[in-house]
Chains A and B, each alone.
Chain A
Amino acid sequence: MNFRTFAAFVGPSVFMMLLFIAFPLVSVFKQSFYITQPVYETVEVETCTPGFLTQTCVIEQKSQPKLDEHGEVITQTEYVGLQSYRNVLEPERAWRAITEGNWSVLSTINFWKALRFTLTFTLITLPLVIGFGLGIAVLINNAARSIRGPVIFISLLPFIITPVIGALSINWLFRGDGILTALLEWWLNRDIALFAQAWTIEILMMFYRVWHVAPFAAVVFYAGLQTVNQDSLESAVIDGATRWQRMKYIVIPHLMPLIIFVSMIHLMDAYRVFEEIVGFSSQAYVISLQWLTFDFLVPDQAGNRSISRASASAMLTMIGIVLLLILPLRRTWRDHKGGH
């Protein structure tokens, strides 16, 4: 395939990605080194607001942005180098905490707190998703042919459900005296508050993620199981291999590409964990990297947003994900070259 044909085929797709992803990304990258802010002046302003019956007026010193002759806010943009990265990472505080061996202080610094949780979340759910996915796939494959269809259908439900709604329904089930908490309380015969400490929330969040993603892994693996070579399985039986050995030496190697595929997808998705934080309102105890970025980005009530820190934190998140993906990607490179 020559270059022109290739370009014609991939052109539209690449163009859309450039326009809507690469271009904003470049501007995010640039913004992480600059700070743009309005020029404020301090003026004395009388402000009157309603009381319940009468009005209250106060005269205050207020900072308000200067406007130019067109009524636009005057802004200044300044190159600050790595300052925004420093503001996110807080290296001095973190270093002091590390040298003093004081982990609890380190875990109160936002970025490190978020990194700790994001990594724990990603690395703990990864084997669980693969394990449960594989387990469910094998179970489905074991079941009678007539019930496979309905079982796959039910298995897919957690995966297709809208994430926002999924998180909400977990909330409805567990929050306060939600039905499942009530059930747990009745079973263990003690008062339980699942949203009152970090570790229970973390477990709930991981449980939710595994519940949500394992079906996807299961269906992919199930599809893979359909193409396992029956002859080699049979000859293994004749050679006296146990079930476990057959699984380990024939099935798993056959599924390896799929396991890597699911792992990669899961690494990417779990690393930008966000819905769980919002859905479980866990900000008090645990936060994630994407939540941190989002928090910098949403304007507060008075409209201020920390674009530069958000950009820096987004860039740091991206570096993290690239590091995580390097291993699986080396294989893809070999395949790509080997395939032609």
Chain B
Amino acid sequence: MKVSAEEVKHIAQLSRLTVPETEMQIFTEQFNQILSYADIMQKVDTTGIEPTPYVLPITNAFREDIAKPGVSHEAALSNAPAVENDGFKVPRVLE
């Protein structure tokens, strides 16, 4: 499987990352190098094998509906680069 520069651009956009035009080629090459590993896996014959999203045979791992205190307001915000009105301050977000 190979991706085009156009697809890399699209993925960058979905991730809200700016990739300079000049670096597009190198990213595309790197993407494709990584994807070539997946190609090895794609060649394995998996006919009749169930998909395995979960490796452990565990189901129904629940907890009861009990609320407990989390972290303090101050601790929660202590690693925020910027704080505004008790919130995590983020730059203007336009969709």
Q: Do A and B come from one complex?
A: no
- Interface residues, chain A, with chain B CB atoms under 8 Å away: none
